[in-house]
Amino acid sequence: MSSQYASPRLWTAFVVLHLLVVPYAVRADFQTTPATVTLDGYFARAQLIVTQRGTGGDVNERSADRTHQARYASSDPRIVRVSDTGLILAHANGSATIQVSVGAVKHAVPVTVKGIVPRPALGFMEHVMPVLSKAGCNAGACHASQYGKGGFKLSVFGFAPDDDYRAIVRDGLSRRANTIAPASSLFLRKPTGGVPHEGGQRLEKGSVDYQILEQWLAGGARAPSAKEPKVTALRVWPARRIGVLGFTQQLQVLATYDNGQTRDVTALARFDSMDEGVLRVSRSGHVTTVGRGQGVALARFEEQAEIATFVVPYSNAVDLTGWMDNNFIDRLAAAKFREIGISPSPLCDDATFLRRVSLDLTGTLPTPAQTTAFLGDKAPDKRNQLIDALLGLTGDPSRDVHNNAYAAFWALKWADLIRSNSATLGEQGMWALHNWLTGSFRENKPVDRFVRELIMARGSTFSNGPANYYRIARNPQDLTEATSQLFLGVRLQCAKCHHHPYETLGQEDYYRFAAFFARVGNKGSQEFGIFGGETVIVARSGGEVSHPRTGQVMRPTPLHGKPVSDKRERRQALADWLTARENPYFARNIVNRYMAYLLGRGLVEPIDDMRATNPPSNVALMDALAADFVKNDYNAKHLLRTIARSRLYQLDSQPTKTNAADSRFYSHYNVKRLAAEPLLDALDRVTEVQTKFAKVPLGTRAIELPDARYNNYFLNTFGKPRREGVCECERVSDPNLAQALHTLNGDLVTTKIAGANGRVARLLAAKKSHDDIVNELYLATLSRSPNAREQAAWRQQLAESPNAKAFYEDLLWSLINSKQFLFVR
């Protein structure tokens, strides 16, 4: 055997990349990346990127891409060839030069080719799989669908290479692969259109990709081997670009392998636009910006994914007149406004702020008395004082009167996420969990301790509320998915069956994480008497999770981490890692959720889909918030106070002409429909007619309800979640026709307004003046007084109305059905 065949490494095409470009003389007006190229092996390719230099000779994120305008010529096409778009292809061993020309300026890129052998033995995973992935053969819509296509089934994104190899080479009586006459293989004839193919032409006959497959067949169709190098990281260059609408950019994708080598895989990578409104990206990785804003191009290769961010500012002129930084949030938000070219709206007025912050922090509408007091307060820091009072941080019991509502409101949010539900937990378990949640928020338990108590929960499900976490999700798989999504913001569900399409996480990662829960068990108990029937969550001394495909026992391993030892209870190690200050996910996940709760949108959306390929809209702000949260010991009230005190939070919801198109960068407050429970409570408070819920005494507010399901049409119509999933999306926040009809025509609102002991009846019985009544109705519903125009209009309406009681009921009905009431603005 010749030395050329001795090791795959020798013929594999590698590119030695000199990313630190040797500075050219200042006179040069563009830069090529890489400056020199080494192609190792047959089919080795490399993408040149040509970037225009600035007048000072610098290259930065605003530098224009000239890759597709440049002209390329090879000094020796027998050794290396180059395409019109700067893609270099190895042809024969030797050295040559690629001359790059932009206008009159020319640069030479030295190229060395080595490792070319007559009959290369190509590896299945290293060579064949990328071609299949690039062509989309193993996509879920094609042969990786549940039953495959046309009898040919591949694994999703090639997560099961052995199965794929069998499907190609062995299945169907080996009719797909012909190693003697590769060109006659169905495996090549189908995608090239040689025979009818439902998926159309996916490969061009004679193309490099075609040749790779043909050569692999000709070389005997080697099976997957564990020795083939695996990709450990992907890098996209440039990672970030800013420019005017319409600018373009060719991307270059570099893969680093576990043997330490780096290879240009641009030609084999798959590209997608994650923001179609901002950019489009071609199959070859050429990005074209098509809209203003911030967008991401995604590159995928083997089991890795990476992004490049593109910014197209809305405007060159940003008006930040009067902008004052209340805290670091504002400083970083302003920087983003400047970058993205958006001018923020002005501050909202006090009445709007009072209503907004009361509902956002406590789920509770302020009373007319509270509103009057706040609006009349002349203290310059009254907003900060209000925030502290709502959060119970004044230290004065007579002012910290919102603690019950705060605890109830945030317990409700987390009960939704954790899925507290009597249908699953029984009444006592559900109440135990609810009481623990409420107690946790009442004492402002640090979030890391809160999560640790859940993860480490053990003992009685009746006495130890968080133990019910292990009754809601009852097996390692469910616990894995719930835990990662809730506390890391990572959706691992995909990786249960195949590699995550937009993440670096695969099945191994999923089941290694699941191994943390392999030893959670339970036992019965009679401590609550023979009728009690409590369950006790225990840590068993044995129990493992196996990989469903390989059967291999998986060692408990954090995401992107190293296996942990079994010396201590496995969940202890998980809790330690999860809540570690250096955990990249934990704090970000929490601050992102809380940003979304208050500002109507997370820095990352969806808010529980945190991954490298779904970056925050404001990376610096996310980093700073997370760091501040960690620094302040995961103090949720501190986080809420920081956000609520920011100018960003206090901006008007009314967009300006210049920021109306923005929905990502908080240039104006995002209007939110009141959630079901706060809205029903608001109705109760406004009408002074309390709703009675099943199994709790009259006076219990909707935000205090512990269970998932109530026979309450209003709550159900307005989207109270059933707590069946850990996704934030289970709570439907969009308004719909049924909701509108219910508040407009439903009995509930009408009955409450006309209640014999309701607000309108009380005001009339007290013989209040018209202005006083109207004022109180406005204060109760909209947290503001009516303006002169409104007062005058209502006076006229009253004069025309034959029945004062009916008039005031109609007035209240109108206010309740106004957007100002139904929405947090």
Partner 1 sequence: MAKHLLRRTRIHFSIVFSVSLCLCGSMVWAETSYPMVMCLRPVAVQVGQTTECEVMARYNLHGAYKVFVTGDGVTATVDAPKTPPKAGTPRPKVSTLKVRFQVAPDALLGVRDVRIATPQGASTLGQIVVVRDPIVREAANNDTLKTAQSIPLLATVCGTIEKREDVDFYKFTVKAGAALTFHVRCQRLENRIHDLQEHADPIISLRNSVGTVLASNDNTFFGDPLLHFRFAAAGEYYLEIRDTRYGGNPYWQYCIEINDRPFVANVHPLRVTPGRTTRLRLLGHNLPRDSFAALTLPADTPEGPRSVLLPLGKDKSNAVPVIVSRLPEIIDAEAEHAKPAKAQAIAIPCGISGCIAKEEEVDCYSFAAKAGERFSFAVHARAHQSGLDSLLRIVNDKGQTLIENDDARDRYVHADSRIENWAAPAAGRYTIEVRDLHARGGANFVYFLSVVRSEPHFLLEIDTDKTLLAPGVASVIFVRADRKNGFAGEIQLGIEGLPPGVTAHCGRILAAGKDGCIIVQAAADAKQTAVNLRIFGTATAADSKDKLTVTARPLQEIYMPGGGRYHYLADMHTLSVGESLDLKSVKISSTSIALKPGESKRIEITIERNPGFKGNVTLDTVYQHLSSIYGSSMPPGVSIDDKASQTLLSGEQTKGHITLKAATDAKPVQKQQVPIMAHVSINFVMKWTYCAEPLFITVSPAASAK
The footprint of partner 1 (CB under 8 A) covers 397-398, 400-401, 403-404, 407, 427-428, 431-432, 435, 439, 442, 458-460, 462-463, 523-532, 536, 538-539, 568-569, 695-699
Tell me how many degrees the CA angle 29-30-32 measures, rounded to the nearest 5. 155
* Beta carbons within 10 angstroms of residue 94's beta carbon: 15
On whether the CB atoms of residues 281 and 290 are closer than 8 A, the answer is no
Task: Report the residue number, 187 or 469, with the smaller CB distance to partner 1.
Answer: 469
Phi/psi-derived region of residue 582, left when phi > 0, alpha when psi is between -120 and 50, beta in every other case: alpha
Bridge partners, residue 539, by sequence? 520
Cα–Cα dist 349/537, whole Å: 51
- Written as six digits, the tokens of 449 are 């301790």
Residue 458 CB, shortest distance to partner 1, in Å, is 4
On whether the CB atoms of residues 335 and 627 are closer than 8 A, the answer is no
Backbone torsions φ then ψ of 734, nearest 5 degrees? -75, 140
Residue 325 CB, shortest distance to partner 1, in Å, is 34
- Written as six digits, the tokens of 521 are 């068990």
Tell me how many degrees the CA angle 785-787-789 measures, rounded to the nearest 5. 145
Residue 535 CB, shortest distance to partner 1, in Å, is 12
Residue 540 CB, shortest distance to partner 1, in Å, is 10
Bridge partners, residue 46, by sequence? 88
Task: Report the residue number, 462 or 513, with the smaller CB distance to partner 1.
Answer: 462
Residue 688 CB, shortest distance to partner 1, in Å, is 16
In three-state secondary structure terms, 489 is coil
Task: Report the residue number, 5 or 710, with the smaller CB distance to partner 1.
Answer: 710
Cα–Cα dist 823/735, whole Å: 10
Residue 404 CB, shortest distance to partner 1, in Å, is 6
Cα–Cα dist 173/151, whole Å: 12
Residue 394 CB, shortest distance to partner 1, in Å, is 12
Cα–Cα dist 614/96, whole Å: 41
On whether the CB atoms of residues 733 and 675 are closer than 8 A, the answer is yes
Task: Report the residue number, 522 or 716, with the smaller CB distance to partner 1.
Answer: 522
Task: Report the residue number, 441 or 778, with the smaller CB distance to partner 1.
Answer: 441
On whether the CB atoms of residues 168 and 209 are closer than 8 A, the answer is no
In three-state secondary structure terms, 214 is helix
Residue 536 CB, shortest distance to partner 1, in Å, is 7
Residue 120 CB, shortest distance to partner 1, in Å, is 56
From 672, 709, 716, 676, select the one nearest 694 (Cα to Cα).
709
- Per-residue burial over 580-600, b if 16 or more Cβ lie within 10 Å, else e, is eeebebbbbbbbbbbbbbbbb
Task: Report the residue number, 252 or 461, with the smaller CB distance to partner 1.
Answer: 461
Cα–Cα dist 821/675, whole Å: 12
Cα–Cα dist 77/773, whole Å: 89
Task: Report the residue number, 353 or 441, with the smaller CB distance to partner 1.
Answer: 441
Residue 529 CB, shortest distance to partner 1, in Å, is 5
From 722, 228, 634, select the one nearest 451 (Cα to Cα).
634
Tell me how many degrees the CA angle 455-458-461 measures, rounded to the nearest 5. 110
Task: Report the residue number, 192 or 428, with the smaller CB distance to partner 1.
Answer: 428
Task: Report the residue number, 200 or 524, with the smaller CB distance to partner 1.
Answer: 524
First to last CA, the chain: 76
Residue 248 CB, shortest distance to partner 1, in Å, is 60
Task: Report the residue number, 319 or 569, with the smaller CB distance to partner 1.
Answer: 569
How far CA 181 is from CA of 218, 288, 608, in Å, comes to 7, 41, 51
Task: Report the residue number, 163 or 400, with the smaller CB distance to partner 1.
Answer: 400
Residue 528 CB, shortest distance to partner 1, in Å, is 5
How many CA atoms, within 13 angstroms, populate the side-chain half-sphere of residue 458? 13
Alpha-helical regions (H) of 227-325:
none
Residue 694 CB, shortest distance to partner 1, in Å, is 10
Residue with token string 């000094």 = 75
Task: Report the residue number, 567 or 767, with the smaller CB distance to partner 1.
Answer: 567
Residue 17 CB, shortest distance to partner 1, in Å, is 50
Alpha-helical regions (H) of 518-618:
570-578, 586-599
Residue 405 CB, shortest distance to partner 1, in Å, is 10
Task: Report the residue number, 119 or 568, with the smaller CB distance to partner 1.
Answer: 568
Task: Report the residue number, 516 or 665, with the smaller CB distance to partner 1.
Answer: 516
Query: How far, rounded to the nearest angstrom, does the alpha carbon of residue 303 sit from its chain's CA centroid?
Result: 19
Residue 568 CB, shortest distance to partner 1, in Å, is 7
Task: Report the residue number, 258 or 427, with the smaller CB distance to partner 1.
Answer: 427
* Beta carbons within 10 angstroms of residue 688's beta carbon: 16
**Distinct helix (H) and strand (E) counts, the chain:** 29, 27
- Per-residue burial over 612-639, b if 16 or more Cβ lie within 10 Å, else e, is ebbbbbbeebbbbbbebbbeeebbbbbb
Cα–Cα dist 657/315, whole Å: 12
Task: Report the residue number, 294 or 428, with the smaller CB distance to partner 1.
Answer: 428
